[in-house]
Chains A and B, each alone.
Chain A
Amino acid sequence: MNEKVNARRTRLVALILGLFVALSGCATAPRTNKRSEEPRYGGVLIYAKGKDATRLDPADINEAESATVTENIFNGLVRFKKDSTAIEPALATRWDVSEGGKTYTFYLREGVRFHDGTPFDARAVKLSFDRQAHPRPGQVFEYWANFFAPTVRDVTVLGPLAVRIRLKAPDATFLSNLAIASMAILSPAALAKWGVDVARHPVGTGAFRFVKWVPGERLVLEANPDYWDGRPYLDKLIFKPVSENAVRLLELEVGEVHGMDGINPDDVERIEANPELVFHSQAGLNVGYLALNNLKPPFHDARVRRAVAMAIDKPSLVRAFFANGKLGEGAVVPMPPTVWGYNRRLSDLPHDPAAARRLLAEAGYPHGFDMELWSLPVVRPYMPQGQRTAEAIQESLAQVGIRARITTYEWGTYLDKVGKGDHQAALIGWVGDFADPDNFLYTLLDAANARPGGSATNYSFYRGEAVHKLLTRARTTLDPLARARLYEKAQALIQHDMPMVPLFHAKQLAAFRTDIRGFSLHPTGTKYFERVWLAD
């Protein structure tokens, strides 16, 4: 009798528990898809960042914390599409490219005004660019110096709404470059009024107007009601710096802020388990790789390089160092798949120690060899755990008879030595400047960037003739489709030659509360808030 009652009770408890689990299961289902609502206007969004912006002069920015802010205040002539790295019109509605690709004529959008009321015109474009081309002493406009100074000849006003930019030589990356944050157009009136202090008084044509900046505390923007691309949904957008990762997440959890980046790897599961939060992730504009010095034996032999690539157990590296793929993914070529021109037909070489040993034997190293493996002394986005990654690779290589000795140097020295080609094999990586295949493939693998003894960015010192031809031709070809085909071909050749072993693309992460709608990460890492809205 008693037993029966107990059994019944147990069943009841189980049923209640089951119901509870089922209900909480419902609660964890993504709420964003439940209702298909219309975006609504209004509301204040507070976005927590790990670091405050440093300066808001878009031309003078070289870090993402500031660019995230200025990208919402300013526009350039062209911009990246919302979901890809392809280029679309912005302040220029269309453009002509002359025969030979050396002259671009931009036709500007009519009726646009800067936030201070100044009309946007060709003069503003010329002023914004000339300021960078002719900096005052002590001023360095890094992006212009690196990407435009070598190619741009001059900027001419053709009429109120037409600008001509002449290049010294055809440059297919020009439009991509023009879309980056530092090529924003500033209000000539603000430039005249503030001078150098424009870095604290940004006036653009973008979705949000600058209101106030209390360093370390808040940076306030408000909706630009006259935005040429339609008023943003939010009334206000506030950036709040919160330096501690744990505190930032707590603020998101209790609802003091609506969104954040700079997420601790260990916190990803906690965020995903929280029904009030939405976790965003996407391949970032970066690559971590193992640079094999092609000028030094035995890595001058492609068979050895392929053997190394097949010996390394990339999937388990991703599992171990990128939270099972949540924080990063394995790289097939030294360019993230979010960049246009990525060759999707390529698949990664398999992890195959037996095949690696055969290749080594074929190359004349049946018993393997000794080598030096340089490990990263610092945490970089593309390689959060350099030393342990090196140790894991060392272990993989030992399986095929390659005896690697791990060495490292202080970061400044490391970069210097790798640039000179002192290494045999070194862990290193690249964070893209702009979303063009050229910025990855040409920078990292073209013969022009492989001058040992000087300062190279092609740390593998690879000088594949065919690849060099493809990459240089792609630089001067203006048709995007033709360029994409050239890059796809180059990637196939690169994978065959395996000058370096592409390892990872770290993901960019962000988390938002569920009542924030319309946010998506952009491949370039920029956060755009103009289409973001607050649900009740």
Chain B
Amino acid sequence: MVQTLLRRLLLLVPILFGVTLVVFVAVRLVPGDPAQVMLGERARPETIAKLRTELGLDRPPILQFGAYVARVARGDLGRSITTGDAVSSEIARRFPATVELAVASLAIALLVGVPAGILAARRKGSWVDVLATSGALVGTSMPIFWLGLVLMLVFSAFLRLTPLSGRLDLALDVQAVTGFYLIDSLIARDPGAFASSARHLVLPALTLATVPMAVIARMTRAAMLEVLGADYVRAARAKGLAEHAVVWRHALRNALVPIVTVAGLQLGTLLSGAVLTETIFSWPGIGSLAMGAVFSRDFPLLQGCVLVFAASFVLVNLATDLLYPMIDPRLR
């Protein structure tokens, strides 16, 4: 067990190295001298030269990469060009918001996706099945950007049920402890702030949840169909067990491994896929941070964000794999 964990953690190193290399190259394939672009038409040549030196752009790319990897290995992600702050602290400030959004989205996706999948499997071929299956198809193919704006127009602008953007009503304030506003407002015993942050969370979480919700529903349906046809389920039914006990206790338990796998994969995707959703809803997480870094050509910040995305993706998958033995004793 410990050995597996260590081996998987070691595997992180080549994966992150690969990601670093790809991002480093990709960022530099964007045409134009970043120093010149950043300073614009008012720049004097001396200023540009100074900035180039400061950014290390005057050195050969291979040396730049070597220096970057060496610093990253020491845990130093460099300094943001725009804010001058350490990339690691920029990311640390924004990461809780992304995690809160991703976890809320995964919760929605599971709470809707799993029951929908089970229901569709139990009534295979019925209108419920058709509805769930076609809903899942629409969910996976819906452009996030468009969906976010439509939800916003309907629920915020028209029905005025939810706020348009942000994490908390600006008239309110919570002391950051964990960085998760839902938890922080509970710690502060501030029901108003809790309600406000929940209301702010609903639309972005729903938007971000559509794809995983659909994927999980489809996966659940397929896994349940397979299990429901198995001998032990027939046996359970034959001995007169109530149908809900058959489905929820016997069948679902065995269908859970593939569902957990998919959910784990989806959480990784959620963490890294929050870029569009966060941008539309001005959600102050690393998704919108990365988007801003793209527009301002803040290379160190962008590289740092992508590294964090990659690392969280790999780590979540690792955690999922570690969960299997707990669900399925055969895998111990």
Contacts and interface: CB of A to CB of B under 8 A. Distances in A.
A404 to B, nearest CB: 22
B188 to A, nearest CB: 15
B66 interface: no
Interface of A: 44, 46, 51-52, 54-55, 60, 62, 138, 140, 142, 145-146, 196, 199-200, 212, 214-218, 238, 240-244, 246-247, 250-251, 253-254, 256, 410-413, 415-416, 428-431, 433, 454-455, 457
A251 B33 contact: no
Contact of B284 (A44, A54, A217, A430): A217
B90 A215 contact: yes
Contacts of B166: 217-218, 240, 242
B157 A243 contact: no
A51 B295 CA distance: 11
Interface of B: 31-33, 36-37, 39-42, 44-47, 50-51, 54, 82-85, 90, 93-94, 97, 149, 152-153, 156-157, 160, 163-168, 170-171, 173, 176, 279-285, 288-289, 291-292
Contact of A243 (B37, B51, B282, B285): B282
A243 B164 contact: no
B93 A250 contact: no
A455 B65 CA distance: 30
Contacts of B164: 247, 250-251, 254, 256
A55 B83 contact: yes
15 contacts: A44-B170, A46-B170, A54-B83, A215-B83, A216-B284, A243-B291, A250-B152, A250-B153, A250-B157, A250-B164, A251-B165, A254-B156, A254-B164, A411-B36, A457-B42
B282 A196 contact: no
Contacts of B163: 256
B152 A241 contact: no
B102 to A, nearest CB: 16
Q: Which 8 A-B residue pairings sit nearest by Cβ, starting from the closest?
A: A216-B284, A412-B32, A217-B284, A412-B36, A412-B33, A455-B45, A410-B31, A54-B82
A335 B142 CA distance: 49
Contact of B156 (A51, A146, A215, A250): A250
B82 A146 contact: no
A428 to B, nearest CB: 7
Instruction: From B32, B36, B149, name the one whose CB has the most chain A CB atoms within 10 angstroms.
Output: B32
Contact of A216 (B85, B94, B149, B156): B94
A145 B47 contact: yes
Given A55-B84, A431-B42, A217 B279 contact: no
A430 B47 contact: no
A196 B84 contact: yes
Contact of B167 (A145, A212, A217, A411): A217
A413 B37 CA distance: 10
A535 to B, nearest CB: 18
B27 to A, nearest CB: 15
Given A218-B170, A243-B288, A412-B31, A254 B157 contact: yes
Nearest to A413: B32
Contacts of A199: 83-85
